[in-house]
Chain A
Amino acid sequence: MGRSVILSASGVVFGYNGSGRAVLHGLSLAVPAGAVTAILGPNGSGKTTLLRLLLGILRPQAGEIYLAGRPLGSYSRRERGRLIGLVPQEEHIPFDFSVLEYVVLGRAPYLRPLQLPGEADRQAALDALRIVGLADLADRPLPTLSGGERQLAAVARALAQQPRVLLLDEPTAHLDLGNQNRLLTIIGELAAGGTALVLTTHDPNLAAVLADHTLLMRRGRALAAGPPAETLTAGLLSATYDAPVQVLRANGRQVILLDSHPRSAAL
């Protein structure tokens, strides 16, 4: 595709302390700029662990992770915060921040440790809110937003970091179809603007709609990697999820269905 790789992992091995068991076994991934990379796999396959490694929260026990040409570990916290943002699956915020106060927190990597955010930071936060379409809600308390709007506010908070890579953990897990559509449109626009997007999902249809690249994971290993046309096949998906999967085509793209008939089997 000719897009430059901004974030890459090669041969990454990781296991949590004490368990003595590896969660990831020699995993490799290349994330190009201006594209959407989807990490697919069943629950417990190591998707979130991989995301935490790419963010630098966890350090690989073997293998290397490179960000913009340098080892991830060589960046300072603030430098790294200006390059990679995170939208977690669900965020518990026990206090009633206004939407703007919350989004301004995304400016932290640009502030010295004791510096307070200034007008430029507020403007950057408002710009991020405009991108996700929440500028009118800037002064509203966060808890008064709907689930979908809160997720978009989390995206805006990450965009206020002006990152080159945006990691999203199960971004559509709690969203209805309307809000899914809103979020997917924003993700598509960000990719078109040059941001590298990495998202984890256990929904292959999301990857079929959105992704330029996919990584299929099972038990900490890569089963397949490549464009969705090559990886989202009945054989590979059945092996990934350990379930019968059928792949149809509609409007020129794959539609993935569970090929099981529990009611008829019971009869």
Chain B
Amino acid sequence: MTAAVRLAVGQTLGRRPLLWLGAALLLVLTLSLFVGRYPASPLALGDDALARRLLLHLRLPRVLTACLLGMTLAAAGSVLQMIFRNPLVEPGFLGVSQGAAFGAAFSIIYLDAGPLLIEGMAALFACLGLALSYLVARRARYGGWILRLVLAGIAVSALFAAGVGVLKYLADPLTELPDIVFWMLGGLWGVTWADLLYLLLPVGGGLLIVHLMRWRLNLLSLDDDTGFSLGAAPGRERTLVLVAAVAAVAAVVAVAGIVGWVGLLIPHIARRLTGADAQRALPASTLLGGIFVLLCDDLARSLLPGEIPLGILTSLFGALLFMLMMSGRNIRVQR
């Protein structure tokens, strides 16, 4: 009985972080509209036509994209960590981001592509990067699964980074190179409503699928034999959530370039807030990812007269926070 009472209390507390995070995300989203070099006070919007245009056509799509970007990277990080049973992976570590960047750079140079084709190629090479990392890790003869997957991801990422390097070398320094450099640093300048529309289907669909399956992610984090004995189809279910997560990541990377560390750091913080059960940890991670990238993007466009690439800021804060967390007492990584 006492356990049941404690359970009820725990549930009430357990729901609260999600409410708080949801409210915080809405607040940050709204405030972000009024951050930037051009002062656009909410009070002055009525008689400032330029501010209205700026807000509707530049800031609103950008802020919404930043939010989707953060939500996607953090959710995908959570999903990859659960299904690979490895708390040290994120899209950037598994060849997904570098693969997507290679696909995009390739289509910029050789296919003279529009956004849709760039996105498709990014998705294709993201999947290829992930598959390659997985295969290399399976075949590796050194260390446990966590270490093998991280090492394989590093090697595959380096392979695609080298490919991007070659493409940069071959690129026209005036027309193509700036586009590719943008990819490597990550950023959201020049995001339009059209970019946001391209994102809606893969990101909306991907996030919906992984959230519908959030409790089953717990099953997929168990040994396959145990998962099977519980009526799950580990191989099939893992592939489904993986494709959903990678498609969403490829789409946001196609628009924003490589924005690192979000997918590694945020799921760890989310699990601290809600516990490991993905039923709550995944939504928490998604909301927190949105908040984190929105804040980083606010800084990116207001800190200096020129814009700081977003990927630099997320890596800076992400890596610093991660180091702080790793040296904390509560972190625990086995194997």
Which residues of A line the B interface, CB within 8 A?
Answer: 52, 55-57, 77-78, 80-82, 84-86, 88, 91-98, 100-101, 105-106, 108-109, 113-114, 116-117, 122-123, 126, 129, 135-136, 138-139, 141, 143, 158, 161, 167
Is there contact, CB below 8 Å, between B230 and A161? Answer: yes
Most chain A beta carbons < 10 A, residue from B87, B225, B332: B225
Contacts of A123 in B (CB 8 A): 4
Judged by a CB distance under 8 angstroms, whether B231 is at the interface is yes
Q: For B278, give the chain A residue with the smallest CB separation.
A: A95
Is there contact, CB below 8 Å, between B334 and A92? Answer: yes
Is there contact, CB below 8 Å, between B225 and A57? Answer: yes
Is there contact, CB below 8 Å, between B225 and A139? Answer: no
A-B contact pairs, 15 of them (CB 8 A): A85-B229, A93-B221, A94-B146, A96-B271, A98-B275, A101-B277, A105-B219, A108-B219, A108-B231, A109-B230, A113-B213, A113-B216, A123-B4, A126-B4, A129-B3
Is there contact, CB below 8 Å, between A100 and B276? Answer: no
Cβ distance B98 to chain A, nearest Cβ, rounded Å: 25
Contacts of B146 in A (CB 8 A): 94
Contact status of A122 and B229, CB under 8 A, knowing A116-B215, A143-B332: no
- In the complex the two chains form, what is the Cα distance from A92 to B84 in whole Å? 12
Which residues of B line the A interface, CB within 8 A?
Answer: 2-4, 6-7, 10, 82, 85-87, 146, 212-213, 215-216, 218-219, 221-223, 225-226, 228-233, 271, 275-277, 279, 332-335
Is there contact, CB below 8 Å, between A108 and B277? Answer: no
Is there contact, CB below 8 Å, between A105 and B276? Answer: no
Contact status of A138 and B276, CB under 8 A, knowing A81-B229, A94-B221: no
Is there contact, CB below 8 Å, between A122 and B7? Answer: yes
Cβ distance A112 to chain B, nearest Cβ, rounded Å: 11
Is there contact, CB below 8 Å, between A105 and B218? Answer: yes
Contacts of A161 in B (CB 8 A): 229-230
Cβ distance B174 to chain A, nearest Cβ, rounded Å: 49
Contacts of B221 in A (CB 8 A): 93-95
Contact status of A100 and B225, CB under 8 A, knowing A94-B334, A95-B271: no
Contacts of B4 in A (CB 8 A): 123, 126
Contact status of A135 and B3, CB under 8 A, knowing A57-B225, A101-B218, A116-B215: yes
Contact status of A78 and B277, CB under 8 A, knowing A92-B85, A105-B219: no
Contacts of B279 in A (CB 8 A): 116
- In the complex the two chains form, what is the Cα distance from A97 to B276 in whole Å? 5
Q: For B335, give the chain A residue with the smallest CB separation.
A: A92
Is there contact, CB below 8 Å, between A94 and B85? Answer: yes
Apart from A92-B335, A117-B215: 15 A-B pairs, beta carbons within 8 A: A57-B225, A77-B233, A86-B229, A91-B226, A94-B333, A95-B82, A95-B271, A101-B218, A101-B277, A106-B230, A109-B230, A113-B216, A116-B215, A135-B3, A143-B332
Contact status of A138 and B6, CB under 8 A, knowing A81-B230, A94-B85, A108-B232: yes
Contacts of B223 in A (CB 8 A): 88, 91-92
Is there contact, CB below 8 Å, between A57 and B271? Answer: no
8 Å CB contact of A77 from B226, B232, B271: B232
- In the complex the two chains form, what is the Cα distance from A65 to B2 in whole Å? 43
- In the complex the two chains form, what is the Cα distance from A94 to B146 in whole Å? 10
- In the complex the two chains form, what is the Cα distance from A165 to B314 in whole Å? 51
- In the complex the two chains form, what is the Cα distance from A94 to B218 in whole Å? 11
- In the complex the two chains form, what is the Cα distance from A92 to B226 in whole Å? 11
8 Å CB contact of A55 from B6, B228, B271: B228
Is there contact, CB below 8 Å, between B231 and A109? Answer: yes
Contacts of A129 in B (CB 8 A): 3
Most chain B beta carbons < 10 A, residue from A82, A95, A109: A95
Cβ distance A143 to chain B, nearest Cβ, rounded Å: 6
8 Å CB contact of A84 from B2, B213, B226, B229: B229
Cβ distance A138 to chain B, nearest Cβ, rounded Å: 4
Cβ distance B235 to chain A, nearest Cβ, rounded Å: 11
- In the complex the two chains form, what is the Cα distance from A3 to B184 in whole Å? 69
Cβ distance A110 to chain B, nearest Cβ, rounded Å: 9
Is there contact, CB below 8 Å, between B6 and A97? Answer: no
Contact status of A88 and B226, CB under 8 A, knowing A93-B221, A139-B6: yes
Q: For A48, give the chain B residue with the smallest CB separation.
A: B225
8 Å CB contact of A138 from B7, B222, B231: B7
Cβ distance B238 to chain A, nearest Cβ, rounded Å: 14
Contacts of B231 in A (CB 8 A): 77-78, 80-82, 108-109
